[in-house]
Amino acid sequence: MTARVLIVDDVATNVRLLEAKLQHEYYTVISATSGEEAIMRAIEENPDVILLDVMMPGLDGFETCRRLKEDPKTHHIPVVMVTALDQKSDRIRGLSVGADDFLSKPIDDTLLLARVRSLAKYKSIADELRSREAVGRRIGVIDEMQQGENGLGARVIILEDDAKRGERLKRILNEEQRALLMEESNQLGPDGHSSVELLIVSASGKTFDGLRLAAHIRSQFNTRSLPILAIVDAEDRTRSIRALEIGVNDIINRPLDEDELKLRVRTLVRRKRYIENLRLSVDATMEKAVTDQLTGLHNRRYMETQLKALLERTKRGGAPVSVIIADIDHFKRVNDLFGHDAGDEVIRQFSERLASNFRPRDLACRFGGEEFVVIMPDTSAEDAYIIAERLRVAVSGDPFHIGSNKDPLEVTVSVGVAIGNRADDDTDVVIKRADQALYAAKQRGRNRVIANVA
């Protein structure tokens, strides 16, 4: 995949060198010559990856990275710090301010490109989910998502066949996470693996091929989004590149530095939780878009979509679909006498009785106000009438208890029934027939069911 890369370096020769390498691989390149300009370009351009030099006058790479990661507009953009510094303290400092990786000059071109590809995939997923989440916020169905995930307390599984190395990994990680060796993972129980947030795998195991195992995990539906950190011998350049190519999210070289390990784990956990929170927000957007917020039933938009599909199936020779419209009798009087809060409570309680008196395959929806629609697939008009009558009795036979009112409210409902089984039936036609039956029920004294099957 291609990507847009922001190169940040105050030395023009360095920028041109990296630019040539990336453009040769068909990446789009943006450049900045200072930390201040980098922040501005990141906000304006939303690059997929930032290659950030550390040693710059004014705002250095560490402070630039910190500011990028603290800004909600740019915190999701992966940052790779590129520098001639190769001290442990510099690498730890870079990871501590939020960098996703830390590469030393002279840069290994193949490893750099593998890193860029890996991080660009993450950014692509994040961008898609952020876009959908923004739509939900814009239309007001979800709230602003909270940031600030610390990446601690995650369930981590360690795949290491050297017992001493495995125990050391577990000891280090348990200072911040909840780590288990692979042979201990049965402690999670039958559904516990869904709570795992990171897998650490030794790429140089003697009894198993760590990269083959990582590739298998990445290919499975249930684990394809599980972050994987591979441990690779420092001199094994080929295996490091291969790990990134098959979908490992990050690599750390052996011999391990404890602080670096903890920081890389924290970063991967933060990324995973960020993506999961975005997905939950998107799911909430979809749910709220088709759900009535007062009752929890589906809304009119969803009902019309489903009824249309069922009627199309009927036209192709499928079973008929019945529809009922139920309207709470004298509902305005409830609002006038007891207030709108009491009216809302009547609607909520009515919705519960509605949902409990129909079959799991039936679709109960709030049509609007005090009016409700139930779609009943594969149901004759006679059966629909019986089910509607059961609802009427359930409503009228048990008074509604509203708030602190000592006297229960007597509530009744009128119901119209129609069936869709004709070649020219569409959503509007069938709903109109049910509505005509409902009107007839109202005209004949309310608290009754009328079927319109002519």
The active-site residue out of 133, 160, 345, 370 is 370
Task: Kindly report each contact of residues 442-448 with a partner whose C-beta sits within 8 Å and lies 24 or more positions away, as own/partner.
Answer: 442/327, 442/329, 442/414, 446/329, 446/330, 446/412, 446/414, 447/329, 447/392, 447/396, 447/412, 447/413, 447/414, 448/392, 448/414, 448/415
Strand order of the β-sheet with 28-32 is: 28-32, 4-8, 49-53, 79-83, 101-104
Catalytic (active site) residue 370: yes
Residue 20 is encoded by which pair of tokens? Answer: 């040539």
Cβ atoms of residues 281 and 207 within 8 Å:
no
Give me the active site residues, please.
370
